[in-house]
Structure 1
Amino acid sequence: MDNEESTVNKHVSATIYPVLFALSFSHLLNDTIQSLIPAIYPIVKDSFQLSFSQIGVITLVFQLSSSLLQPLVGVITDTKPYPYALPVGMGFSLTGLVMMALAPSYQWILVAVAFVGAGSSVFHPEASRMAYAASGGRRGFAQSLFQVGGNAGSAIGPLLAAMLIAPFGQFHVIWFSVAALTAIIILYRIGKWYKPKSIRNYILRKNKVKEETQLTLPRKTVISSIAVLLVLIFSKYFYFASLTSYYTFYLMHKFDVSVQQSQIYLFIFLFAVAAGTMIGGPVGDRIGRKYVIWLSILGASPFTFALPYANLFWTIVLSFIIGVIIASAFAAILVYAQELLPGNVGLVSGLFFGFAFGMGGIGSAVLGKLADSEGIDYVYHICSFLPLIGIVAALLPNLKKVQTRLSKV
């Protein structure tokens, strides 16, 4: 083996922690920016006299702009990776941030969140691919570490908004442009690591050959399993839409808390989501992803049923438990899908991130309409049934057993 092949092999076989931590931190910065959108809803609702339906449309525009392009980006980068696409995508998010800070009307808010969404559509599939390339075979761990950065950013965003934006107004969104600029620098450096063709192409080729020899399932089984996973994503992100978009309004309406208090309670929920994300991937590596997927969605149902009847203290406790349980599913779902479709990491990442964002956006718009017509309390009664859909995870094949059986052949 020559020196170049030896260097390449080292990159493939070892888990590259500096790259994984850099990607996770970039994900934190990216999702901190994204989380400002729901965090400023109470401010823009008052400033522009918006209805819940219009708030839902803001989320819908953001989620659709961040979801529709992701599968396309994934397909393109499966064929030809673009290492410097990530800092370019973050440039779109930076543009959206500046526009959001200066937006004089509801229409400009919509344009601003579309730019942030476009940046997200580039970031997630390509950054997920880089995490996969740096995993050294520890795919669940790598995906969880990558995801937990994003969830931590989603949790920190509302807290920072409560301190920097709620007391001072919409213009102070501009301070978060520092996060976007920092992310651009980090992502440029990651791109330099990912750029060498000898390493990148060897990683892609070796992963594809290795996975195709590890796992072979009938086409019908693969298609039905992907469909089940998308149904589970629908359940998870429709329910999450009720909390990420309307939790602050629910707390202010039902318990008469202030905007700043509601943002802190939202931070607690989002912190739970980050914790759950970090749990799901490594546990899936150990016991099998099917079990994690099944328990993490269906297992939340007793707590979602109790939430609409709880007082303030138990609402916070229950929302924390729900966040931990449901959030543990996504890393397991994504890696499970990548194993179903070996050699298509970008396509799978783009499809699932895109579908998740799309369901979150549609869910927010639908639930906003429902909140206007039936009241915010009614939304949480209806959504409490969504985790029951998790029972369909029983239809998924156990890939861990399939891989073990094939390894003995």
Structure 2
Amino acid sequence: MRRLRPIGLMAIGHACVDVYQGAVPSLVPFLVAERGLGYVAVSGITLAATLLSSVVQPVFGVLTDRRPLAWLIPVAMTTAGLGIALLGVGHSYWAAWLAAALSGLGVAAYHPEAARMARAVSGGSHVGMSWFSVGGNVGFALAPVLVTPLIAAGGLALTPVLVVPALVGALITSLAIRGAVAGVGRPQRAGSDDWPSFLRLSAIMVCRSIVFVGLGTFIALYAGERVGGGTTTGGVALFILFAAGAFGTLLGGRFATRYGRVRTMRTSYAVAVPAIAGLVFVPGPAFFGFLALTAIAMSIPFSLHVTLGQDFLPGRVGTAGGMTLGLAVSIGGIATPVLGTIAEEWSLRVALTTLIALALTSSLIGYALKEPVVE
């Protein structure tokens, strides 16, 4: 119970900071409507936030490996919120671009040290790390719920209000790490770094990221095609994707404790193969059942990626956290335009069919991994 409270608080903090990863896409329609920005311009702002965050995260990971930086966690959260708060201030495109980049920098600075601290305060518990990870999922999903009504009511001039979740999250996270810092210093090296296994794990994460981000981008449109109902059906599909994904993340920690991380991971991706095939090819209401099963199967390994990466690189825990969390954002976003091109050239069904092969690839690569021995 002593470990439950700090990891619960850190999960809430993780939700507060990941709101800002979903805030930029939520602001895009308003940037188009109020500023008259074109698709290329708003894509540039989105890229400033997501790609910079993903690229810089490993750098912060290296820094946290050299010395503990617990103070960086609340500072980074505040920076992420400040960037979004400034995004709607003024009318300069480049000011908005820099504000988005500032928010992305804050997100990048947060994750490596926060992942290291969460692992430490949870005592290495897989269940604890699953709670921390699902906090991020919840934050990303809540972004449109928080951003859209506010900006619809008062316009982009109200973006400064969006700094509030960052301030609340910084306060909550500070409570979680207070008193724990003394016992959570720089992690001691326990065994040698296994880079070949870590690179195989990275390949799995790349495939998983493309599948989940691709579904998040196109599933609302595909739901309308398969089931009918237009935007309402699309909204239901997105809710199922995010809610079932959060549930799957929590299951991952419990399954890993009972069956082992590697076994749980490869089995989950194997289950995802027929699940994706079902949602792509089976018409009617069964579509939603296959979507839920896909989201659960693809999310069960999410938190396990982080702890496996840290155990494969025991001497570079921060670097491992930065790379695992960074890949989850950047690769999927970069590959999504490829899926869009396939959809335009052939069909959305053909584009989503390619995701079946990626899930299968993740499962097969899993057989090349062994459970790391933690000394």
Q: TM-score, normalised by structure 1?
A: 0.79
| Residue in structure 2 matched with residue 327 of structure 1 by the alignment | 299
Please identify, of 352-361 and 324-333, the stretch whose mean Cα deviation from structure 2 is larger.
352-361
| Residue in structure 2 matched with residue 7 of structure 1 by the alignment | none
1:189 aligned to which of 148, 157, 175: 175
Contact 2:222 2:348 in 1 (8 A): yes
SS at match of 2:370: coil
2:203 aligned to which of 226, 231, 251: 231
SS at match of 1:136: coil
SS at match of 1:342: coil
| Residue in structure 2 matched with residue 200 of structure 1 by the alignment | 184
Partner Cα distance (1:180, 1:173) in 2 = 13
Change (3 A) 1:127 1:300: same
* 2:316 alignment partner AA: N
For residues 338-377 of structure 1, the aligned pairs below 5 Å read 338-371=310-343, 376-377=348-349
Contact 1:304 1:322 in 2 (8 A): yes
2:274 aligned to which of 283, 302, 314: 302
Change (3 A) 1:269 1:175: farther
Contact 1:305 1:384 in 2 (8 A): yes
Contact 1:60 1:364 in 2 (8 A): no
2:16 aligned to which of 21, 24, 29: 29
| Residue in structure 2 matched with residue 396 of structure 1 by the alignment | 369
2:179 maps to 1:179: no
1:69 aligned to which of 46, 56, 64: 56
Contact 2:13 2:135 in 1 (8 A): yes
Partner Cα distance (2:260, 2:17) in 1 = 30
| Residue in structure 2 matched with residue 129 of structure 1 by the alignment | 116
Unaligned runs of 5+ in 2: none
Report deviation, 1:308: 2.9
* 2:80 alignment partner AA: S
| Residue in structure 2 matched with residue 5 of structure 1 by the alignment | none
Report deviation, 1:233: 0.5
Per-residue Cα deviation, 1:238-269 (whole angstroms, up to 9, x for no partner): 111212334445456774623x7644542331
Unaligned runs of 5+ in 1: 1-13
Per-residue Cα deviation, 1:43-78 (whole angstroms, up to 9, x for no partner): 556664644x76665544332211112112112112
SS at match of 1:300: helix
Report deviation, 1:236: 0.5
Partner Cα distance (1:74, 1:147) in 2 = 17
Per-residue Cα deviation, 1:173-209 (whole angstroms, up to 9, x for no partner): 544321112112223334533443xx233x734xx4x
Contact 1:66 1:121 in 2 (8 A): yes
Q: TM-score, normalised by structure 2?
A: 0.86
Contact 1:204 1:343 in 2 (8 A): yes
SS at match of 1:68: helix
Change (3 A) 1:37 1:266: farther
SS at match of 1:151: helix
For residues 38-187 of structure 1, the aligned pairs below 5 Å read 38-44=25-31, 48=36, 50-51=38-39, 58-102=45-89, 104=91, 109-138=96-125, 140-161=126-147, 163-165=149-151, 170-171=156-157, 173-187=159-173
RMSD (Å) for aligned C-alpha atoms: 3.1
Partner Cα distance (1:246, 1:41) in 2 = 17
Per-residue Cα deviation, 1:350-384 (whole angstroms, up to 9, x for no partner): 12112222212212343345455556554323334
Contact 1:73 1:346 in 2 (8 A): yes
Please identify, of 320-329 and 307-316, the stretch whose mean Cα deviation from structure 2 is larger.
307-316
| Residue in structure 2 matched with residue 8 of structure 1 by the alignment | none
* 1:144 alignment partner AA: S
Partner Cα distance (2:234, 2:157) in 1 = 21
Change (3 A) 1:332 1:195: closer
Contact 1:56 1:367 in 2 (8 A): no
SS at match of 2:367: helix
Please identify, of 300-309 and 76-85, the stretch whose mean Cα deviation from structure 2 is larger.
300-309
SS at match of 1:355: helix
Report deviation, 1:314: 3.6
Contact 2:17 2:81 in 1 (8 A): no
Change (3 A) 1:37 1:184: same
SS at match of 2:123: coil
